[in-house]
């Protein structure tokens, strides 16, 4: 039994096999010929933060694979009345085949997984967002092939997405050049672990120069709304616009995990432009996570 709490829970070969399977599942979905590989399997989904893409992709994915998903939030379960997460993990493990958890603290997710006897999936914590990286890497694979040896620019907050890109750079062998304002750097230990697969640029323009993929995220993530005004000042000059994209390689792609704020971290011309693959990237959450569920429930030892 395996959990997926971090990109580091997979080998490079396993990561690549999952995103390749995700591409196969997307083609099946597009031709209305989805394989039923998880009949009667049930996914419990705990959400302590709001969600659109993650909830819909997991629910739709389980339905397409022949199984079912149950949405659980603190407002309508005993979690909201103080039941220890360890007890919830033990109880749900008696009833469902896997559990996805979207929560704040990564340490809390790790404690939950230690008490679960079915696979636990990180559906986002403040530290990491590994399911989004599966979708991003599947999208790059579909458009440009394997990302090994490529240069990726991360522009903006050194948040959970940036941390996940650092982990994935080391795992899949690409270089992540990030540009973040002082005080908004990624996790120091994750950056150290990335070694020579990561470097910090002095400016967003420097990071974008020669990039094969440019990625950004909102400047104030969930739970940081009160910092919005201060962050607008700190991140001035960090917008991905046509001038930034022009510094990248001619066939560079643009990605954003969404939701996006046009006119802040990205201009409308870029996110709605020809180099943007954000809608396909969002759609691949569905297929990459179906491939992940198959891996955890049918293949992982």
155: in domain? yes
Res. 76: pLDDT tops 80: no
In this structure, are 88 and 202 located in the same domain? no
> What is the model's pTM?
0.96
Are 36 and 115 part of one and the same domain? yes
Instruction: Return the CATH number at 50.
Output: 3.40.50.1370
Is omega for the bond preceding 259 within 30 degrees of 0, making it cis?
Answer: yes
Q: Is 162 annotated as a binding residue?
A: no
Q: Who's near 49: CB < 8 A, 6+ residues apart?
A: 102, 103, 104, 124, 222, 223
Residue 85: pLDDT over 90 = no
Please check whether residue 86 lies inside any domain of the structure.
Answer: yes
Across 68-83, average pLDDT: 82
pLDDT tens per residue across span 151-176: 999 999 999 999 999 999 999 999 99
Q: Report the share of the chain in percent with pLDDT over 70.
A: 99
The radius of gyration of the chain's CA atoms, rounded to the nearest angstrom, is 19
Is 16 known to sit in a ligand binding site?
Answer: no
pLDDT tens track for 290-300? 999 999 999 98
Specify whether 145 is located in the same domain as 252: yes
- Residues 144 and 119 grouped into a single domain: no
pLDDT for 223 equals 73
Q: Establish if 2 belongs to a structural domain.
A: no
The reply, when asked if residue 258 is annotated as ligand binding, is: yes
Residue 1 lies in a domain: no
Residues 136 and 277 in one domain: yes
More confident residue, 268 or 83: 268
- Judgement on whether residues 122 and 138 belong to the same structural domain of the protein: no
pLDDT of residue 301: 67
b/e sequence 83-97, b meaning 16+ C-beta within 10 Å = eebeebbeebbeebb
Share above pLDDT 90 across residues of the chain, in percent, rounded to a whole number? 89
In a domain, 88, yes or no: yes
Q: What domain range includes position 224? A: 132-281
Q: 115 lies in a domain?
A: yes
Tokens 């693959």 belong to 277
Shared-domain flag, residues 94 and 62 = yes
Q: Are residues 117 and 19 in the same domain?
A: yes
Chain segment 212-271, per-residue pLDDT in tens = 999 999 998 777 778 888 999 999 999 999 999 999 999 999 999 999 999 999 999 999
Same domain, 43 and 167: no
**Closest listed residue to residue 211, CA positions, set 293, 275, 266, 262:** 275
Same domain flag for 198 and 290: no
- Number of domains into which the chain is organized: 2
Per-residue pLDDT at 225 = 75
Task: Kindly state whether residue 246 falls inside one of the protein's structural domains.
Answer: yes
Q: Which residues are catalytic?
A: 102, 129, 132, 217, 257, 285
Q: Do 204 and 273 reside in the same domain of the chain?
A: yes
SS3 276: strand
Question: Is 132 part of any known ligand binding site?
Answer: yes
């Amino acid at each position: 039994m395996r959990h997926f709490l971090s990109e580091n829970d997979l080998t490079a070969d396993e990561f690549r096999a999952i995103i390749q399977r995700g591409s196969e599942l997307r083609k099946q979905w597009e031709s209305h010929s989805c394989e039923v590989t998880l009949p009667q399997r049930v996914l419990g989904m705990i959400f302590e933060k709001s969600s659109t893409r993650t909830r819909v992709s997991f629910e739709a994915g389980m339905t397409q694979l022949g199984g079912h998903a149950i949405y659980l939030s603190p407002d309508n379960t005993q979690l909201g009345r103080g039941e220890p997460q360890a007890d919830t993990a033990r109880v749900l493990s008696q009833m469902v085949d896997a559990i996805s958890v979207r929560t704040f603290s990564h340490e809390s997710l790790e404690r939950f997984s230690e008490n679960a006897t079915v696979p636990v999936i990180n559906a986002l914590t403040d530290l990491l967002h590994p399911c989004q990286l599966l979708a991003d890497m599947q999208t790059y694979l579909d458009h440009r092939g394997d990302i090994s040896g490529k240069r990726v620019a991360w522009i903006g907050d050194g948040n959970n997405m940036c941390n996940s890109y650092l982990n994935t750079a080391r795992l899949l062998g690409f270089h992540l050049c990030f540009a973040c304002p002082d005080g908004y750097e990624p996790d120091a230990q994750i950056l150290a672990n990335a070694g020579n697969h990561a470097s910090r640029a002095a400016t967003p323009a420097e990071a974008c120069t020669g990039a094969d993929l440019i990625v950004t995220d909102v400047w104030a993530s969930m739970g940081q709304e009160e910092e919005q005004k201060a962050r607008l000042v700190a991140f001035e000059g960090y917008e991905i616009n046509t001038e930034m994209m022009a510094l990248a390689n001619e066939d560079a792609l643009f990605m954003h995990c969404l939701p996006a704020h046009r006119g802040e971290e990205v201009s409308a011309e870029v996110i709605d432009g020809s180099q943007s693959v954000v809608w396909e990237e969002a759609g691949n959450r569905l297929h990459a996570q179906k491939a992940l569920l198959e891996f955890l429930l049918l293949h992982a030892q």
